[in-house]
């Protein structure tokens, strides 16, 4: 299990621990102020991610000193983890409200309104998180192209997530001053700020999932459809075998390749059971 599971999971995966969505955590005024600033100044986050490119260009020995300090700071404030779709469903079923808004990152990177982000709350109507969105001037999250905050049922959220998965987007949970989890988003390496940092600048702003993909050779017909969907370059094709295989050391366990495979040849294994990936986060 990842570091957050040990610190905030109470024996479960941390994102399945109801306490991490509680309104008690959102009552903290410092956390509320953090959320307000986060929403009001998306350009600050975009600039911080841009600066990580500079860090990635520094000599390796400087990065070895600097990166743990920066990572520790980010992990305390706004950090994510990849979560497969079935566990997104468990999260949705355990909460009273799911509110869809436009994606914060896509606003920054593409100046478009794309409704890929889902606020999660242990209170009705989106709780304090949605209240802050209503209170501050963040119209980029709520319009003008759509009708503001959309309250969804778990089954509506899951139907949308299946669509996002067919678009090749990976599901990620996000803290707003750890351990409070305020949202789950659907990311790609081009438009998502965190993916740009994690994949583009080699500076992880999210943990890998608790899983690793594996291909069943007997079922795989070598069609390579799955390879087009992996955002982490973790799938390889063997011309000799005419099969695809997963490089466990690169796999983030998102499960998107699994959704693409018409032969049901891909499954997710517990990361702890795969020695090459057990300690990679």
| Residue of 5, 256, 274, 277 that binds ligand SF4 (CB under 6 A) | 256
Size of the residue set binding ligand SF4 (CB under 6 A): 28
Under the binding rule (CB under 6 A), the answer on residue 85 touching ligand SF4 is: no
The answer to whether 122 touches 100, Cβ cutoff 8 Å, is no
Is residue 257 near ligand SF4 by the rule CB under 6 A? yes
**By CB under 6 A, which span of 7-15, 91-99, 172-180, 251-259 interacts with ligand SF4?**
251-259
3-state percent helix, strand, coil for the chain, nearest multiple of 5:
45, 15, 35
**β-strand 206-207 against 170-175: which pairing, if any?**
unpaired
Which of 131, 154, 222, 267 touches ligand SF4 (CB under 6 A)? 222
Q: Which of 51, 63, 263, 280 binds ligand SF4 (CB under 6 A)?
A: 263
- Of 167, 154, 31, residue with least CA distance to 106: 167
Q: How far apart are CA 66 and CA 239, in angstroms?
A: 41
* CB contact burial 200-232 (16+ within 10 A = b; e otherwise): ebebbbbbbbbbbbbbeeeebeeeeebeebbbb
Cβ atoms < 10 Å from Cβ of 119: 24
Out of 98, 253, 271, 277, which residue is the one contacting ligand SF4 (CB under 6 A)? Answer: 253
Distance between CA atoms of residues 52 and 204, nearest Å? 10
Least distance in angstroms from the C-beta of 16 to ligand SF4: 19
DSSP state of 199: I
Single out the segment in contact with ligand SF4 by CB under 6 A; choices: 32-40, 54-62, 188-196, 229-237: 229-237
The answer to whether the Cα torsion of 180, 186, 192, 195 is positive or negative is positive
Figure out which of the listed residues 181, 220, 274, 277 binds ligand SF4, where binding follows CB under 6 A: 220
Residue 234 is a binding residue for ligand SF4 (CB under 6 A): yes
Distances (CA, A) of 156 to 61, 208, 253, 280: 48, 26, 24, 33
Binding mask 176-215 for ligand SF4 (x = CB under 6 A): -------------------------------------x-x
- Tokens for 99, please give them: 């509110």
Whose Cβ is closer to ligand SF4: residue 26's or residue 214's? 214
Figure out which of the listed residues 49, 158, 206, 230 binds ligand SF4, where binding follows CB under 6 A.
230
Collect all residues with Cβ–Cβ distance below 8 Å to 57 and sequence separation of at least 6: none
Of the candidates 229, 271, 274, 277, which one interacts with ligand SF4 according to CB under 6 A?
229
Among 103, 265, 274, 277, binds ligand SF4 (CB under 6 A): 265
Positions touching ligand SF4 (CB under 6 A) are 213, 215, 220-226, 229-230, 232, 234-235, 244, 246, 251-257, 260-261, 263, 265-266
């Amino acid at each position: 299990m990842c570091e957050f599971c040990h610190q905030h999971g109470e024996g479960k995966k941390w994102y399945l621990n109801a306490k991490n969505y509680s309104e008690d955590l959102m009552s903290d005024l410092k956390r509320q102020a953090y959320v307000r600033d986060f929403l009001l100044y998306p350009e600050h986050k975009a600039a911080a991610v841009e600066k990580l490119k500079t860090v990635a260009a520094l000599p390796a020995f400087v990065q070895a000193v600097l990166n743990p300090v920066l990572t520790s700071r980010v992990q305390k404030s706004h950090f994510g983890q990849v979560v497969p779709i079935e566990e997104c469903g468990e999260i949705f079923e355990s909460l009273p409200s799911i509110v869809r808004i436009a994606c914060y990152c896509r606003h920054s990177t593409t100046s478009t309104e794309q409704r890929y982000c889902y606020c999660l709350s242990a209170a009705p109507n989106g709780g304090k998180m949605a209240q802050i969105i209503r209170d501050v001037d963040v119209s980029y999250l709520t319009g003008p192209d759509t009708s503001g905050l959309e309250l969804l049922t778990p089954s509506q959220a899951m139907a949308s997530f299946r669509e996002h998965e067919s678009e090749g987007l990976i599901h990620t949970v996000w803290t707003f001053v750890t351990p409070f989890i305020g949202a789950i988003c659907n990311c790609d390496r081009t438009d998502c700020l965190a993916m740009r940092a994690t994949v583009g600048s080699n500076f992880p702003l999210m943990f890998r999932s608790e899983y690793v993909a594996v291909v069943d050779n007997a079922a795989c017909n070598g069609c390579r459809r799955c390879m087009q969907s992996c955002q982490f370059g973790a799938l390889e094709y063997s011309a000799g075998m005419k099969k695809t295989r997963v490089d466990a050391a690169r796999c983030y366990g998102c499960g998107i390749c699994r959704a693409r495979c018409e032969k049901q040849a891909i499954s997710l294994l517990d990361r702890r059971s795969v020695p090459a990936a057990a300690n990679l986060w």
